[in-house]
């Protein structure tokens, strides 16, 4: 199982490192610089608004389906024939509720126009993710890896034409950015559906009310979990835009730093996507899971330490390099958000493990508490320190929820606590701090940053927090899998 995880992860990392950084820094950043913080801030807050409510599109179907198909692959044909119809019904519910809430909180005209397309985009994303959950549930990880970057690849092509040619003879508008995403999502969903059909054969679609009720009864706890986590992960920019007179600009400044957090978080998303079906199958077959948990945790958490701390030491320089407006404030927000990545990375391992174990009720209570902490802190801090307040709220929430999930996982899965490993991680954090402090003495900050990261990576190998020999043996299939 470790070999399948590593080889699939390497392919996923290669494809995503090839595509997504160019999307984030070459396209998304260029769009914000062209349209300005206010226009982009409006788009960013509307995007996060649409993402909070998009649980109504899914109601936990994708997460439950991924786990269920991994455990019972013979159910694929029956379930997909019914669930596709259910997804379209949920799309109508999502659209109606989203528009109603948007009107209630004061969205009008331009906001509603953009929101309608973002609602369509969320449906297309949700539908594609559901289709991909069947592919990963069958452990077809290589196929899923290529599909995972398909939409971004198409967006890069479409947006590059709009941004870097004179095809329109007009100044780039934020609406075009949204339209380009819509076109890419439509094409990606059609291709993904075609791939699923190859593995299922001819399908007949049903609107079976009894099946819908039974399936939703099983999936709704996953829906509640995703909704609560969406609130404490995405509500920041919406509250900034609504609570402050210059909310659109503040949301745009927050988006500067959040974009980089989103970029590094994609690695955690890749881990979680691979680990959920793997953990689910191992737990069902009553395999020993402790070594797999430790292995995957170190593989994500050690790089997270290096990324978080190096970003903290060089926050201002990175913001200036990316040509951000208001770089001093963006740097302060960036530093806090990157520290919160340590909590996010932990969540992607232990939260995924608890989901695979079916410990959804406990996760929901954790997420509800996290949402309360996040919303409460935002209400207190945003009026006082604006976007920086949202960054503090995010940091506190992510570290709290990560600790809670770790404790829950240790308790429910009877994991042994490796105190020696914890001590090594503490020593490693101290070493990275020392490397950062010494690297700041170098006049050239780029050289200093690269030295800090390189020395930290070498120390991780030296202390065997990341074991190259073991990785090599797993890939070459010399170790038990």
Rounded Cα distance between 45 and 111, Å, is: 10
26-40, 103-117, 160-174, 443-457 — which one is most confidently predicted on average? 443-457
Q: What is the pLDDT of residue 167?
A: 78
C-alpha–C-alpha distance, residues 329 and 461, integer Å: 35
pTM beyond 0.85, yes or no: no
pLDDT exceeds 90 at position 438: yes
Sequence-separated (6 or more) residues with CB below 8 Å from residue 107 = 46, 115
| Percentage of the chain exceeding pLDDT 90 | 29
- The alpha carbon of residue 2 and the mean position of all alpha carbons in its chain are separated, in whole angstroms, by 23
Does pLDDT of 64 surpass 60?
Answer: yes
pLDDT higher than threshold 90 for residue 343: yes
Euclidean distance between CA atoms 4 and 267, whole angstroms: 17
- Record the tokens describing residue 464, joined without a space: 């065997």
pLDDT in tens, 376-404: 999 999 998 988 999 999 999 999 999 99
Per-residue confidence at 406, pLDDT binned at 50, 70, 90?
very high
Cα dihedral sign for 15, 21, 22, 23? positive
CA 425 to chain centre: 24
Task: Dump pLDDT digits (tens) for 240-279.
Answer: 888 888 888 888 888 888 878 877 887 777 777 778 777 8
**Strand stretches in 217-282, DSSP E:** none
Structure tokens at 63: 């997460």
CA dist 317 and 335 (Å) reads 11
C-alpha 121/C-alpha 113 separation (Å) is 13
pLDDT higher than 60, residue 478: no
Is residue 301 within 8 Å of 227, Cβ to Cβ?
A: no
Residues in CB range of 363: below 8 A, 6 or more apart: 225, 351, 354, 355, 405, 408
Q: Interhelix angle for 247-284 vs 209-243, to 10°? A: 150
Q: Record the tokens describing residue 225, joined without a space.
A: 């979990």
* Contact by Cβ (8 Å): 134, 63: no
CB-count exposure of residue 445 (10 Å: 0-12, 13-18, 19+): middle
CA nearest to 130, candidates 208, 226, 2: 226
CB atoms within 10 A of CB 358: 16
With the C-alpha atoms ordered 366, 369, 371, 377, is the resulting torsion angle positive or negative? negative
């Amino acid at each position: 199982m470790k070999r399948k995880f590593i080889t699939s992860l390497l392919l996923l990392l290669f494809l995503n490192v090839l595509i997504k950084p160019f999307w984030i820094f070459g396209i998304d950043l260029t769009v914000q610089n062209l349209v300005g913080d206010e226009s982009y801030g409006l788009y960013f807050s509307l995007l996060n608004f649409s993402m909070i409510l998009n649980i109504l599109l899914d109601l936990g179907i994708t997460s439950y389906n991924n786990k269920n198909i991994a455990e019972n692959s013979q159910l694929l044909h029956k379930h997909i024939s019914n669930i596709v119809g259910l997804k379209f019904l949920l799309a109508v519910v999502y659209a109606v509720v989203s528009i109603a809430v948007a009107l209630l909180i004061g969205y009008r005209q331009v906001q509603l126009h953009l929101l309608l397309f973002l609602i369509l985009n969320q449906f297309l994303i949700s539908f594609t993710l559901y289709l991909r959950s069947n592919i990963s549930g069958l452990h077809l990880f290589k196929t899923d890896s290529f599909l995972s970057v398909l939409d971004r690849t198409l967006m890069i092509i479409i947006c590059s034409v709009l941004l870097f040619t004179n095809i329109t003879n007009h100044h780039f508008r934020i609406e075009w950015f949204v339209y380009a995403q819509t076109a890419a999502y439509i094409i990606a969903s059609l291709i993904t559906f075609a791939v699923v059909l190859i593995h299922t054969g001819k399908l007949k679609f049903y609107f079976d009310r009894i099946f819908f009720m039974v399936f939703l009864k099983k999936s709704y706890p996953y829906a509640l979990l995703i909704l609560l986590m969406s609130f404490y992960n995405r509500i920041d920019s919406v509250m900034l835009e609504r609570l402050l007179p210059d909310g659109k600009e503040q949301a745009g400044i927050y988006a500067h730093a959040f974009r980089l957090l989103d970029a590094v978080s994609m690695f955690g998303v890749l881990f979680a996507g691979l680990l959920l079906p793997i953990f689910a199958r191992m737990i069902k077959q009553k395999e020993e899971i402790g070594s797999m948990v430790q292995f995957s945790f170190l593989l994500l958490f050690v790089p997270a330490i290096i990324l978080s701390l190096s970003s903290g030491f060089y926050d201002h320089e990175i913001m200036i390099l990316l040509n951000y407006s208001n770089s001093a404030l963006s740097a302060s927000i960036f530093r806090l958000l990157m520290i919160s990545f340590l909590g996010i990375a932990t969540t992607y391992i232990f939260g995924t493990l608890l989901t695979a174990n079916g410990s959804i009720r406990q996760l929901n209570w954790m997420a509800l508490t996290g949402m309360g902490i996040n919303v409460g802190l935002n209400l207190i801090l945003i009026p006082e320190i604006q976007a920086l307040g949202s960054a503090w709220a995010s940091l506190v929430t992510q570290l709290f929820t990560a600790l809670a999930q770790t404790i829950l996982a240790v308790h429910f899965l009877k994991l042994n606590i490796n105190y020696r490993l914890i001590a090594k991680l503490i020593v490693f954090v101290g070493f990275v701090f020392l490397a950062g402090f010494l690297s700041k003495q170098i006049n050239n900050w780029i050289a200093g940053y690269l030295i800090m990261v390189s020395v930290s990576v070498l120390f991780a190998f030296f202390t065997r927090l990341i074991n190259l020999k073991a990785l090599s043996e797993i890939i070459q299939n010399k170790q038990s899998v």
